[in-house]
Amino acid sequence: MDDYISKPVKPQQLAQVLVRAAQQLGIEVSSPPSQQPDSSILHPATLSRLREMVGGDDPAFMCELLAMYLTDTPQLLEALEQAFHQDSYPDIERIAHTLKSSSRTMGAEAFAEICFALEKGAAQQKPLSELMKHFEQLLHTFPRVKEAIEELMAQISRNAN
């Protein structure tokens, strides 16, 4: 085996070298499932910036931030639903803004864009039926965001060990 891996060893790079070595020895290797979060759900560059902001080498803190997002977001979605029931444009705007900001920080760009559309629509006092479509999109999209973040947290935990 002529492959050389420099430190720090990156798990993805190591896996590639091991797969090549196994193939050279005639060992059949199935492709491992992707260990990367879904980039259509979580924006990789934003996640990299977040890692840098938290020090990059503190996986426990990174997981704690992600877990806080997963705890807070359903509560904010419930509060948003209540704001709709109360026909409260200011509350819809405020909660959508909060969701937008936290989602962008976590790399959930598409989710954040829906929040932005809702925030902007509430500021312009567009019909609640129109705003409700954005809210329904949020409810439909959040489970995928949650799944991607849970996968990311599992990956961070695996890489930390």
Give me the domain span that covers residue 18.
Answer: 1-32
Count the alpha carbons within 13 Å of 77 in the hemisphere toward its beta carbon.
20
Q: Is the pLDDT of residue 142 over 80?
A: yes
| Model pLDDT, residue 35 | 44
Percentage of residues of the chain with pLDDT beyond 90: 55
Query: Would you say residue 39 has pLDDT above 90?
Result: no
Q: Is residue 121 part of a domain?
A: yes
Residue 16's contacts (CB-CB under 8 Å, 6 or more residues apart) are none
Global pTM value: 0.73
The b-or-e profile of 16-44 (16+ CB within 10 A means b, else e) is eeeeeeeeeeeeeeeeeeeeebeeebbbe
Q: How far is CA 158 from CA 23, 60, 139, in A?
A: 25, 11, 29
Q: Is the predicted pLDDT of residue 100 greater than 50, yes or no?
A: yes
- Same domain flag for 78 and 58: yes
| Across 117-142, average pLDDT | 96
How confident is the prediction for the chain on average, in pLDDT? 84
Are 54 and 19 contained in the same domain? no
